[in-house]
């Protein structure tokens, strides 16, 4: 019997209670091979691959943090931005896996897990006057979900138009998740297709 200890989110009475330890054998495939699989997987196979990545024994809890897991070794250049966004995600109930950057493989930044749902996100930290639109377009090819961590004031109408344009240019886009202060806003394709999207978004973003 294999008694390797792996982290998984634990759900009790419909509510996730952080990341608890369970007994389950880790995947034996190379982590880089699993990242390569993400580029060809889809549907349930894509979600299965995300789960296998989070189960991999290279991931360890990040010292001093709750529900954040990381692969050891050299830290990314934007590690501070990644950690700040990860901490916010934990506040919203996610278990967060910071993804490494294998050579020759274009990867996203995070896997978020909450209530048994696995999502792959590319992080864009908005900290200056650079166009959000350009940052969103840059994420195409990494993942279909983008996290915008807003650390500066940004014109809400311009932001709404940037997001709408992103969905129009990326037919595979699923979600843009926004962290703004203590608020999180999820924008999915159905939201953008609504004729009242601009007005609705501005109200949600500024209230």
Residue-wise pLDDT tens digits, 158-168: 999 999 999 99
Residue-wise pLDDT tens digits, 115-174: 999 999 999 999 876 689 999 998 887 889 999 999 999 999 999 999 999 999 999 999
Say how far apart CA 16 and CA 20 lie, in whole Å: 10
Q: Which residue numbers in the chain have pLDDT < 50? A: 1-18, 20-23
Question: Coil, strand or helix: which one is 201?
Answer: helix
Count of Cβ atoms closer than 10 Å to residue 23 Cβ: 10
Q: What is the model's pLDDT at position 159?
A: 95
Cβ burial, residue 50 (10 Å; 0-12/13-18/19+): buried
Q: What is the model's pLDDT at position 77?
A: 77
Q: What is the model's pLDDT at position 41?
A: 85
Q: What is the model's pLDDT at position 16?
A: 40
């Amino acid at each position: 019997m294999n008694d390797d200890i792996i982290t998984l989110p634990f759900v009790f009475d419909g509510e996730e209670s952080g990341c608890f330890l369970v007994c389950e054998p880790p995947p034996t495939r190379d982590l880089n091979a699993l990242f390569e699989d993400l580029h060809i997987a889809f549907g349930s196979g894509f979600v299965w691959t995300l789960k296998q990545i989070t189960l991999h024994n290279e991931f360890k809890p990040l010292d001093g943090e709750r529900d954040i897991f990381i692969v050891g070794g050299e830290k990314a250049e934007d590690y501070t931005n990644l950690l700040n966004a990860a901490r916010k995600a934990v506040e919203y109930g996610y278990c967060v896996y910071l993804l490494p950057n294998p050579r020759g493989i274009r990867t996203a930044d995070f896997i978020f897990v909450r209530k048994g749902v696995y999502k792959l996100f590319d992080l864009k930290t908005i900290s200056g006057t650079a166009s959000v639109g350009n940052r969103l377009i840059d994420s195409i090819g990494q993942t279909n979900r983008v996290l915008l961590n807003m650390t500066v004031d940004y014109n809400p109408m311009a932001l709404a138009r940037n997001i709408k344009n992103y969905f129009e240019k990326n037919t595979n886009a699923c979600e843009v998740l926004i962290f703004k202060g203590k608020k999180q806003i999820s924008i999915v394709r159905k939201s953008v297709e609504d004729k009242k999207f601009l007005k609705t978004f501005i109200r949600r973003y500024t209230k």
